[in-house]
């Protein structure tokens, strides 16, 4: 069973956001599995790179849509994205420098962050997008 399983509760009802989130969760599962299997730095580093790359891409997509509808909560939502990216990039820098280990705490942190952000912040965005399209 996957470490972090997709459930209907995570669905925000917007097709691009939901499919991006599924991809993010699958990358996080890959990272977790590689850690659990005790994979080496090379493999972990590659998955982490891809996870960060895709997260940036996803955040940008959401932010572009927010700007398109002149979303009132744009600044606060973007701030949550920026803060997460900063934390993960710091973690990556430590990992690359060899003085930080990736541990299950990392995947736990990312999983909790994603659940919280999706359930609160992204759901609000999805309903605003739906309204704007109506
Ligand atoms: Fe978001
Ligand atoms: Fe999102």
59-110 per-position pLDDT tens digit: 999 999 999 999 999 999 999 999 999 999 999 998 998 866 788 788 999 9
11 within some domain? no
Domain for residue 6, yes or no?
no
Q: Separation of 129 CA from ligand 2 center, angstroms?
A: 13
Residues 113, 84: contact at Cβ < 8 Å?
yes
List residues, by chain if needed, whose CB lies under 5 Å from ion ligand 1.
62, 122
The mean pLDDT value for 18-28 works out to 97
- Is residue 4 in some structural domain? no
Reported pTM: 0.94
User: Does a structural domain hold residue 9?
Assistant: no
Q: Mean pLDDT of all residues in the chain?
A: 94
Separation of CA 98 and ligand 1 centre (Å):
30
Look up the CATH number of the domain holding residue 109.
1.20.120.50
Does residue 115 lie in a domain region? yes
How far is the centre of ligand 1, averaged over its atoms, from the C-alpha of 59 (Å)?
A: 6
Confidence of residue 44 (pLDDT cuts 50, 70, 90): very high
Give per-residue pLDDT as tens, 24-40.
Answer: 999 999 999 999 898 98
- As a whole number of angstroms, the distance between CA 96 and CA 92 comes to 6
Asked if 85 and 59 count as a contact pair (C-beta separation under 8 A), the reply is: yes
Q: Does 37 fall in a domain? A: yes
Distance 88 CA to ligand 2 centre (A): 15
The range of the structural domain enclosing residue 103 comes to: 16-133
Distance 114 CA to ligand 1 centre (A): 9
**Does residue 8 belong to any structural domain of this protein?**
no
Domain count, the chain: 1
């Amino acid at each position: 069973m996957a470490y972090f399983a997709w459930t209907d509760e995570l669905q925000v009802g917007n097709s691009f956001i939901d499919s991006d989130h599924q991809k993010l969760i699958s990358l996080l599962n890959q990272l977790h599995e590689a850690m659990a299997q005790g994979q080496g730095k090379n493999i972990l580093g590659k998955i982490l790179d891809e996870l960060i790359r895709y997260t940036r891409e996803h955040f940008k997509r959401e932010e572009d849509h927010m700007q398109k509808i002149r979303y009132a909560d744009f600044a606060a939502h973007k701030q949550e994205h920026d803060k997460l990216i900063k934390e993960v990039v710091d973690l990556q820098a430590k990992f690359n420098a060899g003085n930080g280990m990736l541990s299950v705490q990392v995947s736990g942190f990312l999983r909790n962050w994603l659940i919280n952000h999706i359930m609160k912040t992204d759901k609000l965005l999805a309903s605003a997008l739906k309204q704007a399209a109506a």
